[in-house]
């Protein structure tokens, strides 16, 4: 096969994979935010399904949200008026982590879809130097520990008030999916904006601009849910496999990875979101994936 023909075939399968991913992402976003009336009337859905945690960041305050955000639920459990160990939330998150792992990030997260679409805007992209990029990826673990667990817990024990720090100060999903549509639907809310609202819009604006220039910056550096799921990268049922016997070291896989993973060096790592981009551009079929729990893993 000539090099030109091989490149055409690679691009075809890459587009096919991306199209499948976009379809799944879109369906997931619609299903998780299917309360259309909420967007029309500017009211938050309060039905029985709101007590059920979904596997992705999907803000409770979003008018269309049919389920509860696991991070919001986790903060409420550890920092509520009656703090308790969050058996239910952690149990569900561990179940999602073991069965799916970070494929949740690659295929099911609505904000992952938003970042992917923003990155498609045709402007010059920016590459974060490794000496900054690698240490910065630990920020999401600090966010998980500090903003999601420790600060909510100590805020209720010290002040008697619940303060979901991540949702309140850092989460762009709540601003984009909650504050924006609610303020559009109810102009009265626009007159109630204060410093906190301006701060949240500033955070959202920074993340949106960063998402245009850098692939999935929120997933890479700030998402506490991605940090939690990354603990299961070795144990989740869904895995990626690299057959080094077929690998020709063309690096197409690494150039296509939205998370900047060194695919040929360490395919199954905490940063891999199992999106399949590397698999779709591999000209020799050296990369595979699936739920085959007992499958013999190729050396990575």
What is the C-alpha to C-alpha distance for residues 39 and 107, in angstroms, rounded to an integer? Answer: 24
Mean pLDDT of the residues in the chain = 87
Q: What pLDDT score does 243 carry?
A: 93
Residue with tokens 């909420």: 38
Segments forming the whole domain that contains residue 155: 3-230
**Residue 161 located in a structural domain:** yes
Based on its alpha-carbon atoms, the radius of gyration of the chain, rounded to whole angstroms, reads 20
Residue 295 confidence (pLDDT) above 60: no
In the predicted model, is pLDDT for residue 229 greater than 60?
yes
In 3-state terms the chain splits into helix, strand, coil percentages (rounded to 5) of: 60, 5, 40
Average pLDDT, stretch 72-77? 88
Q: Is 266 a member of any domain?
A: no
pLDDT per residue as tens digits for the range 148-169: 998 888 876 555 566 789 999 9
State pTM to two decimals.
0.87
Which residues neighbour 86 within 8 Å (Cβ) at sequence distance 6 or greater? 73, 74, 77, 78
- Residues contacting residue 20 through CB under 8 Å, at least 6 positions apart: none
Angle 123-127-133 from CA coordinates, rounded to 5°: 140
Note whether residue 100 is domain-resident: yes
Would the pLDDT of 185 be above 60?
A: yes
Question: 193-221: b or e for each residue (b if 16 or more CB lie within 10 Å)?
Answer: eeeeeeebbebbeebbebbbbbbbbbbbb
Q: Phi/psi at 94 (nearest 5 deg)?
A: -65, -35
Q: Is residue 275 part of a domain?
A: no
What residues are paired with 229 via a beta bridge? none
**In this structure, is residue 33 part of a structural domain?**
yes
Looking at the domain assignment, is residue 244 inside a domain?
A: no
Distances in whole angstroms, Cα of residue 231 to Cα of each of 88, 159, 171, 228, 297: 18, 32, 21, 6, 19
Residues 67/50, Cβ–Cβ less than 8 Å: yes
Please work out, in degrees rounded to the nearest 5, the angle formed at the alpha carbon of residue 140 by the alpha carbons of 166 and 108.
80
Containing 241, the helix (H) or strand (E) segment is strand 239-242
Question: What are the backbone angles phi and psi of residue 110, rounded to the nearest 5°?
Answer: -60, -35
Dihedral sign computed on CA atoms, order 141, 137, 109, 95: negative
The number of folded domains in the chain is: 1
Given a cut of 70, whether residue 2 has pLDDT beyond it is no
- What is the per-residue pLDDT across 244-276, written as a single tens digit (0 to 9) for each? 999 999 999 999 999 999 999 988 899 999 999
Of 204, 215, 203, which is closest to residue 123 (Cα–Cα)?
Answer: 215
Q: How confident is the model at residue 79 (pLDDT cuts 50, 70, 90)?
A: confident
pLDDT exceeds cutoff 90 at 180: no
pLDDT digits (tens, 9 = 90+) for 137-148: 999 999 999 999
pLDDT average, residue stretch 74-92: 80
Classify residue 62: in a domain, yes or no.
Answer: yes
**Domain membership flag for residue 219:** yes
Rounded distance between C-alpha atoms, residue 161 and residue 154, angstroms: 10
pLDDT recorded at residue 3: 46
């Amino acid at each position: 096969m000539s090099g030109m023909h091989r490149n055409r075939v690679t691009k075809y399968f890459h587009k096919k994979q991306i199209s499948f991913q976009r379809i799944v992402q879109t369906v997931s976003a619609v299903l998780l935010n299917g309360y259309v009336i909420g967007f029309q009337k500017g009211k938050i859905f309060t039905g029985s399904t709101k007590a059920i945690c979904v596997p992705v960041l999907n803000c409770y305050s979003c008018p269309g949200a049919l389920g509860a955000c696991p991070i919001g639920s986790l903060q409420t459990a550890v920092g509520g008026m009656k703090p308790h160990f969050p058996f239910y939330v952690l149990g569900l998150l561990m179940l999602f982590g073991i069965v799916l792992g970070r494929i949740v990030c690659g295929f099911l997260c609505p904000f992952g879809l938003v970042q992917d679409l923003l990155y498609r805007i045709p402007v010059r992209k920016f590459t974060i130097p490794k000496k900054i990029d690698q240490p910065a990826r630990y920020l999401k673990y600090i966010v998980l520990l500090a903003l999601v667990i420790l600060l909510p817990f100590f805020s209720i024990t010290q002040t008697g008030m619940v303060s979901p720090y991540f949702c309140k100060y850092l989460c762009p999903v709540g601003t984009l999916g909650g504050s924006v549509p609610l303020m559009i639907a109810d102009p009265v809310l626009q007159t109630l904006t204060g410093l906190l609202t301006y701060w949240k819009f500033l955070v959202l604006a920074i993340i949106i601009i960063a998402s245009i220039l850098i692939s999935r910056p929120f997933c890479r550096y700030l998402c506490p849910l991605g940090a939690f799921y990354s603990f299961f990268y070795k144990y989740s049922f869904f895995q990626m496999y690299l057959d080094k016997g077929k690998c020709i070291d063309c690096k197409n896989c690494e150039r296509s990875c939205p998370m900047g993973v060194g695919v040929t060096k360490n395919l199954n790592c905490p940063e891999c979101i199992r999106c399949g981009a590397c698999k779709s551009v591999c000209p020799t079929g050296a990369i595979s994936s699936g739920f085959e729990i007992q499958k013999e893993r190729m050396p990575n």
